[in-house]
Structure formats: C-alpha cells, structure tokens
C-alpha cells in the first residue's frame, strides 16, 4: 500500500498501512491561519459503536482546526474500513503509533498533539509517554472502568481534561480521584468540570468546543504563513 500524503487544502479520507492492516483516517488542514502542530483525535469504544465520526470527536477536531491545528481522525482496527479486530486497547495503541509516525513523517516541523474521547482518551494517554506529544486533551477519560489507569506513565506536557459532572458512562468522581492521586507530574492537568453534562455532551457540544479552544489557547504555537505548513 502506498503511503498517502497529508492533504494541503481540504479534508481527505485516506488509507494508511497499519500493524493489523489498513487504517482508515480523515486528515484535515487547519482552518484559516495555521500553526505548527497537528493533532490526532482517538474515538470512543468500537464495541459500543464508537468511530471517528462520533460527534464529540468531530467537535473536538473542529475546535482544534479553528485554533489553527491540523487534525487527523482515524478508525481503530476493526472499525469502519480499518482492518483487524478489536484488541481491548492494546492493539489500538499500535494503531495510534502508526498514525503518529505517519503524521511526523508528513509534517516533521510540527508538534504532535494527542486527544481522545472516552476509550480514545485511555488509548492516547497510555501511548503518550512513548509518543511525547506537545499537548494532551482528554475528554471523559474512563478511569475506574475496564482499563488500568494506574499503569499510565504520563509525559511532561500541557494536559487539558474535560469531564461532564452528569456523565452516565464514566464516573466523574472516579476521574477526579484518579487525577488527585497522580504523583510526580511536573505539569498539573487543567481540569474543566462541566455541570449538568452527560457523557456524549448532549446539548453541550458548543460548550465543549469553547472549553477546548480556551484550554489550549495558552499553548498554541505561533502562526505560520500557509495552512499546510
């Protein structure tokens, strides 16, 4: 399979060679004035219908692009046109590593940012120490569920966590307790608690957009001349 190029002018659906076969992804340049960073956004649990088209994922990508950050959404193995089978978060980290390697090959002058929603937040956090992103954005990270958050080794980078206080899937108190128990971090996470907000941000997607844009603003790289960097 030929390695695709990052699109220069508009969103493109691409197929990338991955560890379990083809990985389906959508790469989009930044809106307007671009910055030297590209963000990968990971989607929620595939066994519960999660895909790169999830509305929280697409809204996160929109907020990042509006802030000048190019984005990549991709389907984990066994989801959409991505080949392979679900692997409980282990193989999905390998998928993320493959996408990250492609982004860095295509945009070597860019900082790599990682974002994720729910299960995607776990995958991006679990791979973060190896990938060393310039920024982490975690939306409703599923602490207290099926994945070992205690084993996560976090890099020293800015980190934005957004959690709905009325989340019916991820226990907000488990998330806050996990964050409070983290030790050895030189950069404390910025935690945004959204009251009366469910797991999928029903009727609160625009608030999520604003929380992301406000949270990342202090860490945005300088603007560059063209959208494709």
CATH of residue 184's domain is 3.40.50.1820
- Residue 170 domain flag: yes
Decide if 3 is inside a domain: no
β-strand partners of 16: 23
Confidence grade of residue 166 (pLDDT, cut at 50, 70, 90)? very high
Query: Per residue in 10-19, pLDDT tens?
Result: 999 999 999 9
Question: Residues 6 or more apart from 84 whose CB is under 8 A from it?
Answer: 18, 19, 20, 21, 77, 78, 91, 95
Q: For the chain, what is the domain count?
A: 1
129-133, 152-156, 181-185, range with the lowest pLDDT: 181-185
Q: Average pLDDT in the 56-63 region?
A: 98
Q: How confident is the model at residue 226 (pLDDT cuts 50, 70, 90)?
A: low
Whether 224 is in a domain gets the answer: no
Q: Count Cβ atoms within 10 A of the Cβ of residue 169 and give its class: 0-12 exposed, 13-18 middle, 19 or more buried.
A: middle
Which residue range is the domain that position 113 belongs to? Answer: 12-218
The tokens of 95 are what? 């998928």
Q: Is residue 59 part of a domain?
A: yes
Asked if 192 and 162 touch (Cβ cutoff 8 Å), the reply is: yes
In the predicted model, what is the mean pLDDT of residues 28-33? 92
Return the bridge partners of 57, or none: none
Q: What is the mean pLDDT of the chain?
A: 95
Q: Provide the pLDDT for residue 49.
A: 97
Looking at per-residue confidence, does 5 or 183 come out higher?
5
Is 226 part of any domain? Answer: no
- Please report, rounded to a whole number, the percentage of residues in the chain having pLDDT higher than 90: 91
Query: Cα(123)–Cα(147) distance, rounded to whole angstroms?
Result: 10
User: What pLDDT was estimated at residue 227?
Assistant: 42
Domain-embedded: residue 228: no
Residues 6+ apart with CB under 8 A from 161: 138, 139, 141, 175, 179, 189, 190, 191, 192
pTM, entire model = 0.96
Q: Is 143 helix (H, G, I), strand (E, B) or coil?
A: coil
- Residue 224 pLDDT: 85
229 is a domain residue:
no
Q: Is residue 6 part of a domain?
A: no
């Amino acid at each position: 399979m030929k390695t695709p190029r990052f699109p220069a002018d508009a969103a493109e659906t691409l197929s990338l060679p991955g560890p379990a076969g083809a990985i389906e992804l959508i790469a989009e340049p930044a809106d307007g004035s671009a910055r030297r960073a590209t963000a990968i956004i990971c989607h929620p649990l595939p066994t519960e219908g999660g895909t790169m088209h999830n509305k929280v994922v697409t809204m996160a990508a929109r907020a990042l692009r509006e802030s000048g950050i190019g984005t990549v959404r991709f389907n984990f193995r066994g989801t959409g046109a991505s080949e392979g089978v679900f692997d409980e978060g282990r193989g999905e980290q390998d998928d993320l590593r493959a996408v990250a390697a492609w982004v860095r090959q295509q945009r070597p002058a860019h900082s790599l940012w990682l974002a994720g929603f729910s299960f995607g937040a776990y995958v991006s956090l679990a791979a973060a120490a190896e990938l060393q992103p310039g920024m982490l954005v975690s939306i409703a990270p599923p602490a207290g569920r099926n994945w070992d958050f205690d084993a996560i080794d976090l890099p020293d980078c800015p980190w934005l966590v957004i959690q709905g206080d009325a989340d019916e899937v991820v226990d907000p108190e488990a998330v806050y307790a996990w964050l409070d128990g983290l030790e050895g971090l030189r950069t404390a996470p910025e935690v945004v608690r959204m009251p009366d907000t469910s797991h999928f941000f029903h009727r609160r997607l625009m608030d999520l957009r604003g929380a992301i844009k406000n949270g990342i603003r202090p860490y945005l790289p300088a603007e560059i001349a063209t959208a494709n960097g």
